[in-house]
Structure formats: C-alpha cells, structure tokens
Structure 1
Amino acid sequence: MTRTTSFQTLAARLDGVAVRPGDAGYEEARSGVQRAYLHEPSVAVRAGGVEDVRLAVRYAAEHGHAVAVQATGHGLNAPTEGGVLIDTTPMASVRVDPASRTAWAAAGTRWEQVIAAAAEHGLAPLSGSSPDVGVVGYTLSGGLGLLSRTFGFAADHVRRVDLVTADGEFRSVTPDDDGGHRDLFWALRGAGGNFGVVTGLEFDLFPVARFYGGGLYFDTDLIPSVLETYREWTETVPDRMSSSIGLIPLPDVPAVPAPLRGRHVAHVRIAYAGTVESGEELVAPLRALGPRLVENVGEMPYTASGTIHNEPKQPRNFYCANAMMGKFDASVPGAVLDLVGPGADVFAVVQFNHLGAALARPPATPNAVDHRDASHVLRVVTLPQGPDRDVAHETARTVTETVAPWALGRSPSFLQGERDAGAQAREYYAPATFDRLAALKAVHDPENMFRCNLNVPPAKGEGASPAKGEGASPAKAEGVPPAKGGDAPPSRPGKSIVM
C-alpha cells in the first residue's frame, strides 16, 4: 500500500515553504492584487523551483485536492477554499537571447523584468498595459498587448511551455514536440491553466526600442464627442496603430495629478509602431476635439510603456466584465454613457480596446485563442465593496449587455474577479475549440485537478466517470469545500518599425 505524504513530509522536502491557515506567511502566500476575495487553501506552497511545483502537485493528487496557482493575483477568478495553492512568486527570473530574439521567463516573473532585460538589446516583449502583471497568466489567456494590432496576441509568439502536469511530471512542450504533445502545446496557449502548472515560457521578442505613444485626457463635457470620434477613428487607422479609450471617474486625492482630480475623464491611449511624423498625423483628429487636461503623447522608449495607462499597482477590490464585439455600433457610446457616464451612482471604469489587424490573423502555429474576428472589446471595471457588492457586479454585466447584438463572446485577457467564470467557459471559446479543449482535458487532467480557473471540464467519453468539479464551484470535489461565490515556427517582424 502506498503511504500518503503528510504535510510535514511535504514541507521538509521543499526548497520553498509550505504553510497552513494560521502559520506565519500564510496571508502573504494567498494574497495578490485582487482583494475582493482571496484564496483560502488548506495548504499554500511558496514554490522555490520546478521540483517544489512537482511535489505540491503530487501532494494534491494523493489527497484528492484541487490545485490553484497564483503569481501576481491580477486575474483571480476562482478562489479556492481548501485544496493546494501554489504561489509561484519566488520563481522570478528572465533570460534573453538577442541572437534568436527570444526570452525565457519563469513562472513568477513580471513584465517589468522582461522589458528591462530585453531593452538592453533593443528588443521588447508583447507586454500589456501594466508592467506589474505576471508574464505567464497574461500570456496563457491570450495576452492583448500595447502593440497587439501590429504583432498579434502574446500567445501567438510562444515557442516553448515548461509545465508540471497532473501526474506530477515536468514537461517541456514545443510545436515540434515529438512526444505526442503538439495538441497540448495548442491548448496551453489560450487555456493553459487547465492543463498544468506552467513553470516557464519561451517567447519571441521584437525589435522595438522606441515607439510613438502616450495618452490624451479630455474633460467631462467632451466625453460624448471623444467617445464617438474614437469609434469612427478606429475604422480608419492602419495596422500599426493600437489604442484604447478609458472613461474614468477619478477621485479627488493627492495621488491623482492636479488637473485630473475629482473629474470624470476620457483617456485615449496610443501605441503606434511607426514614425513620429505619421503618428502625429494619425492623432491630429483626436487633438482637434478640444483641449486636453493632460497630454503626454510622443516618442518614448519601450521601457516607459507602462506610463501610457499608468495603472495603479497597489492591491485593490475590483470586478471586471467584458464582451468581444464584432462591431462597434454607433448606438453603443450613448447606451454605455446612460448607464455609467458622469454622475452614475456606481463607480465604473469603462474601456474599449481596438482589435483587428494582426489580432484577426491566424498565428503561424495555431492555438486556442478565439474570437479573432472581433473589432473591439468592451471592458467594465467596478469596485465591489460592502453592501454594494452585488450592485457593482450587476452594473458591470448590464453595461456589457448593451453590446449583446454584436457580441461574439468574452475575452480571457480581461477575466478578473468573475467568481463563476468556469460556469461560463463556453463564452470564451468557439464551440469547436471548447470541445477540443475538453477532449484534451480528459487526456491530461481527467480528474479536473486544475479547476480553479476559467475551467474547461474533461469531456465525458464512453464509460468515463463524471468530471470532478463539472457544473460546480472549482474546488468542490473529494472533500474540498466549494469555492466562494500547422507547426511552422512563428514568423518574425521586419526591422522597419524600429525607431
């Protein structure tokens, strides 16, 4: 009879640490940026390396526990009560190979580390609006970056995925994998959290040392005209222009720049992989709308890319709903402003990202990122606190319903604070993609150990037992309490965009 590993034995074998509720370090291990709710695992492992991840996964399998994974905690959507939480924060390192224009990042690495390392060689990654976000979670969800219309999703440019699968084994998976894991490589890029604990990624870098970008802030009275002009403007710009617009109620606090304090503003964000001169021409129609409270658009080093959105780093409570739109209809701006425009009762940040161009093109190596025919994505962020928690959630959902006639589904890239995301997993993938993912899940994680995520339950084959956690909260199974609440290498860009 096989002897079950005890907690004390697990803890003794780790290079990192294992803690339980009440232990020193438990609160730190389970806490991330999202603070609307937290993981409440029976055991939290702060992994010091790949071997610690293997030991934690095997321990979870022996005890019939779910496994949750967290690095920065930006995208927490399925917190677990009970089970095993693997905190990959200590696994933070990056290697850059300038000859192949690639980087490898360990599981706990944040984009700011990759940006700095790549910049030493005149290169840049496909990072997003916040350098504080973790590389792995962002990329596995697709990764909608600042220069995404030029280069595509971050997931499109992954070359290798290192992970520990449900059997506790380490695997390094590539598109040329001759060990029968090409389908797994496809699935990891778009639904990776369902198939194991990713310990590292290798991905392409791009020859972008400088680019034309920044933000334009317009005052409250200009919001309707700015939003409508932005909608029309995105129908005309070239592929090298990536952008978004945020409608933001800013508090009257010292941390906010004086011209913006206490105002509801329209913030247009620009990232253009072209010349300064052509960038100026493209932005001219936006500047013509009226005076800007603040403007910082111009040529900048990629190392300053985080200043475009200037997102807060501190932990906070927030909830995010989104909808991928096949069309940004002329009726949408007015409908959205009626719900959450200036003077609305519920605090809400609304954002529209322009998609299309490279995002719409199939990657050289296919992956599970779907809804590529979307023209824009609508994102709504609310702050669920106290008795207003349900109101905040309902407000976000109501705003996304304004685009229902043109909605194609939802984006995993903006999945934050959605407790029941697993129940709506089909909205994030096309039917054929979801069915293929479910079939692969049945092969690689038939017990649905990795279900504290945007969960795709294992397909039920002939004679198969029901998938654990299917149709229920992510951690509900085996005594774990329910949760609250083509194979060619990627093509390379030319050097014409280097500034």
Structure 2
Amino acid sequence: MHELAAQIEGVVLEPSDPGFAAEVAGFNAAVSHTPTLVVGAASAADVVAAVRYAAEHSLPVRVQATGHGAHVAVADGLLITTTRMDAVTVDPRRRVATVQAGARWAAVVAAASPHGLAPITGSAASVGVVGYLLGGGLGPLARSHGFSSDRLLAATVVTADGDIVDASPTGDAELFWALRGGKGGLGVVTEIRVGLVDLPQLYAGSLTFDGAHAEAVLRGWIDWSASAPDDVTTSVALMRFPDLDVVPAEVRGRFVVALRLAYPGAAADGERLAAPLRALAPVEIDALDALPIADVARIHGDPSGPLPSWGWGALLTPLDQEFASTLTSLFHPSAPLPFLGIELRHLGGAVALDVEGGSAVGGREGAFAIHVLGAPDPSLFAEVLPRAAAGFAEAIRAWIAPATNIHWISHLPEAVEFASAWPEATFTRLAEVRRRVDPAGVFAYGPHA
C-alpha cells in the first residue's frame, strides 16, 4: 500500500483508515463497500498507478463516481473513486463538452446552458456523466434525441495494462464502439468528449393527478402514446409517497400519478400536444410550461441526495389496455406490494435509430421501459423485494421484451439476464473487445464479479 500511496496525488485508504467510509460511500445508502483498498484518484496518472498496482497484486478493479449504480457491495479488490476528477469545459463553437470521470450532469448542464446548448442528460442532475453514458442512458429527451451515449465523441481510457488509450473513431475505434453502451469491463474512463445540442426552446415538466385516477390516466396515456410525435418524450410514474418531512407537503403520505412530458419546441406547440393529457383527469399540480435549459432536472424531480434504494426494471413491448388493467390491479393505494413506485417511459423515436458506425447499446427495440422502485427499507432488500418483483414480473410477462438495457438490470444476478442487456451479436462482440483490452480480467464486471 505504501508504495502505491507514494505515487498517488489523491488518497489511498484501507478499511481501518479514517475517511475510508466516506470515500467509498455512494448514492445508494444501503450499500456499504469494503474493498481491500480504495484509491481516490485526482488525475489520470493516479488511475494508471492504481490499475498497475492492482494487476501486480492480483486485485480486481472496480470504479465508482457517484455510486448511483451501486446495488451490490464491493467486498474485495481495489476500488477507484473519481469524485475528485470533476472538471467540465465547453467549446461552444464546436458544441462539445470535455468532461472528467467524476463530473455529474448538473455541472455539464450549468456549463453548457449559458451558450444556449444542452447535453442529452439523464433525468437526475446528480448522476455521474461517464457511468451513465457507458450504459446508454435514456433521459427525458430520449425520443427526440436518442440514447445519451449516441452523443459520445471520444474517451480517454486507462486499460488493464496501465496504458492511456484514445477511444475514438480515429483512435481505438473498436473500444470506442464498445464504450457507447457496453458499460463495464473495458477500462477506466478518465475523460470523455460529448456532443451538445442547440435547445433554444423546451416545453416540459409534469402533471400530477390523485391516485384515484391512476387507471384513467394510464389508459389514456397508453392510447395517446400510440400516435405521439417522435419528438415528444413522456413517462408516467405511479408513486406511493411516505409520510415523511423530506417529502413535499402536497404529496406527502399519498398515492399519486405523475405524467412527465418534454418537447424541444415552442410552448404553444407544447400546449397543443399536452392538451389531451391534461384532459385525462383533474390535474392537481400543473408544472408543465416553457422550461429553461438549466432546469431540465425538474422534469422528473428525482431526489438529489443519498438514500437507500432498490430497483428492478425491464424493457417492454407495445402496451395495450389489458396491460393498464393488470398494472393498476397490482399496484394501487391499498396494494400490499412493497413498492414505492412504478415508472413507465415511452421509447421509440430516435431511441430506435443507431448512430453512424454503430454502437454497443442494448434496448433500441424496446417500446417502453418499466422501473420498479422498492420501499426504501434495507431490511426488505435481500428477500422481500426480490420475491415481490419476481411475482410482479411474472404477472406482466406477456409485455416484457426479450432484450433489455444494462441500466434496467440492477443486480446482475444471473448470466442469462446479464446477456439479455444486449442483442446476441453485440454481446458476443463486447466479450471479444473485453478479452482484447483486459485478457487477465483485471476489471471485475458481470454476474458475480
């Protein structure tokens, strides 16, 4: 450890060291990592030193920026944290943001918005940019602008042998292909270049309905989405909010339905598009209006601070009224399911269109995405929630698509489920890239890693 610490600008900590727990903590407060070592990297040189040390000492390497994707505790090896590497710069002429490994979407939005530009971000401002992009990323502008990873232009990567590689169309093109949706096991990304878009107008936000109208809203939204324009992205969340002070007073202790919409265009056109949705049921909270680019995170209103979380998800085939009946019979104000919420996102549009040169992202064929958020009680995470989610999945089996996306698989419990995150040919090609860049398996990734 001491020989490594001498090479590191950041920090090197063992479990017994002060500051270790804070260094390994992530967004999911239910997960407590206890790796053999944690390296808080402050530069690409730190990452190189950490990877070479790990390879020499047969320590599996994992990486954490914000910890939003942490669902399984790390109990061995070397964990590299990248929160110190958070610089963001914007070239407004080229419409490109250069983003270090630990930066969050909020920083990119803030840097781009003064120039009238925007990243195709995730729904939560606190999510790390790099980890999100590596899995694809289906944000609030997905139907109009595609997967967020479609905007990835290049990446600087530390590979298993400690080399710094340019993954780009003019560098290691095959590694670049893999990074656009292939997620992990490919190296440590220390910096990315991502394309920004002109977004002069945005009509977006949410409509909140009382839970008594959940079935009517869901049925109407499913019908509306069947002919929705490709440049309109919507989602519906059925939420059972706990009676806690941290929850906004207007929804505290209630079962409500939130219908979100994002349209990159004029407010007058957005009003016209949203009118049928507003008419589905009495609207309690109307937060749908022209929205400044800098406030894109308000569309979903995801929590910004750490909390215990557990989730299950899948991609779905086209939905129908039978699905609406099934879902609302399973999850309603008095349902015994231990779920905090169920979210449905409408896909299609630009999501279905691959980028020039192709990408490794999985799930382009999905018509909808579903995510189940478990009750935030860690005592339920090991058995109760997995059992409930399995039963729920069986009840909606007729609509679950055969392939999914890696971000919709939270726990990677089985090899078959892991493989379903990509088309078969993509999964095979990804395995070949991983074997080339990491033949010794330095980067722990996949089921039971």
Same fold (TM over 0.5): yes
CA distance in 2, matches of 1:422, 1:205: 36
Is residue 437 of structure 1 aligned with residue 430 of structure 2? yes
Counterpart in the other structure of 1:491: none
How far apart are 1:254 and its partner, in Å? Answer: 3.2
Q: Deviations over 1:43-77 (max 9, x none)?
A: 00000110000011111101111111001100114
Counterpart in the other structure of 1:41: 35
Worse-matched range after superposition: 62-71 or 381-390: 381-390
Q: Deviations over 1:310-368 (max 9, x none)?
A: 11122112111111112213222222223232212213310000100101112123110
Counterpart in the other structure of 2:373: 381
CA distance in 2, matches of 1:332, 1:303: 36
The aligned amino acid for 2:442 is M
1:68 pairs with one of 53, 58, 62: 62
Distance 1:302 1:399, change over 3 A: farther
Is residue 165 of structure 1 aligned with residue 159 of structure 2? yes
Distance 1:367 1:78, change over 3 A: farther
The aligned amino acid for 1:54 is V
Distance 1:55 1:30, change over 3 A: same
**SS where residue 302 of structure 2 aligns?**
coil
Is residue 473 of structure 1 aligned with residue 444 of structure 2? no
Whether the 8 Å CA contact 1:152–1:359 is kept in 2: the answer is: yes
Whether the 8 Å CA contact 2:88–2:98 is kept in 1: the answer is: yes
**SS where residue 89 of structure 1 aligns?**
coil
1:399 pairs with one of 392, 395, 420: 392
Q: Identity over aligned residues, as a percent?
A: 37
Counterpart in the other structure of 2:9: 15
How far apart are 1:386 and its partner, in Å? Answer: 4.9
Distance 1:431 1:131, change over 3 A: same
Instruction: Give unpaired runs (5+ residues) of structure 2.
Output: none
**SS where residue 197 of structure 2 aligns?**
coil
Worse-matched range after superposition: 232-241 or 255-264: 255-264
**SS where residue 402 of structure 2 aligns?**
strand
Whether the 8 Å CA contact 1:213–1:272 is kept in 2: the answer is: yes
CA distance in 1, matches of 2:394, 2:84: 40
Instruction: Give unpaired runs (5+ residues) of structure 1.
Output: 1-6, 456-471, 475-499
Worse-matched range after superposition: 309-318 or 8-17: 309-318
Is residue 424 of structure 1 aligned with residue 417 of structure 2? yes
Whether the 8 Å CA contact 2:133–2:149 is kept in 1: the answer is: yes
Counterpart in the other structure of 1:227: 218
Counterpart in the other structure of 1:116: 110
The aligned amino acid for 1:299 is A
Distance 1:171 1:328, change over 3 A: same
Worse-matched range after superposition: 426-435 or 184-193: 184-193
CA distance in 1, matches of 2:151, 2:80: 26
**SS where residue 184 of structure 2 aligns?**
helix
Report the TM-score, using the length of structure 1 for normalisation. Answer: 0.86
Distance 1:392 1:132, change over 3 A: same
Aligned residue pairs, count? 446
Distance 1:442 1:386, change over 3 A: closer
1:279 pairs with one of 262, 266, 270: 270
Alignment of 1:197-208 (within 5 A): 197-208=188-199
Whether the 8 Å CA contact 2:366–2:404 is kept in 1: the answer is: no
Distance 1:321 1:146, change over 3 A: same
How far apart are 1:17 and its partner, in Å? Answer: 0.5
The aligned amino acid for 1:365 is G
Counterpart in the other structure of 2:342: 350
**SS where residue 202 of structure 1 aligns?**
strand
Relative CO higher for 1 or 2, CA cutoff 8 Å, sep ≥ 6?
A: 1
Whether the 8 Å CA contact 1:319–1:393 is kept in 2: the answer is: no
Whether the 8 Å CA contact 2:183–2:406 is kept in 1: the answer is: no
Is residue 191 of structure 1 aligned with residue 166 of structure 2? no
The aligned amino acid for 1:263 is R
CA distance in 2, matches of 1:147, 1:393: 30
How far apart are 1:419 and its partner, in Å? Answer: 5.5
Alignment of 1:211-226 (within 5 A): 211-226=202-217
Whether the 8 Å CA contact 1:165–1:444 is kept in 2: the answer is: yes
The aligned amino acid for 2:205 is G
CA distance in 2, matches of 1:387, 1:26: 24
How far apart are 1:240 and its partner, in Å? Answer: 1.2
Counterpart in the other structure of 2:357: 365
Counterpart in the other structure of 1:478: none
Counterpart in the other structure of 2:301: 310
The aligned amino acid for 2:169 is P
Counterpart in the other structure of 1:459: none
CA distance in 1, matches of 2:147, 2:298: 21
Counterpart in the other structure of 1:149: 143
The aligned amino acid for 1:342 is P
**SS where residue 86 of structure 1 aligns?**
strand
CA distance in 2, matches of 1:258, 1:316: 19
CA distance in 1, matches of 2:31, 2:246: 25
**SS where residue 27 of structure 2 aligns?**
coil
**SS where residue 32 of structure 1 aligns?**
coil
Whether the 8 Å CA contact 1:189–1:368 is kept in 2: the answer is: yes
Q: Over the residues paired in the alignment, what is the CA RMSD in angstroms?
A: 1.6
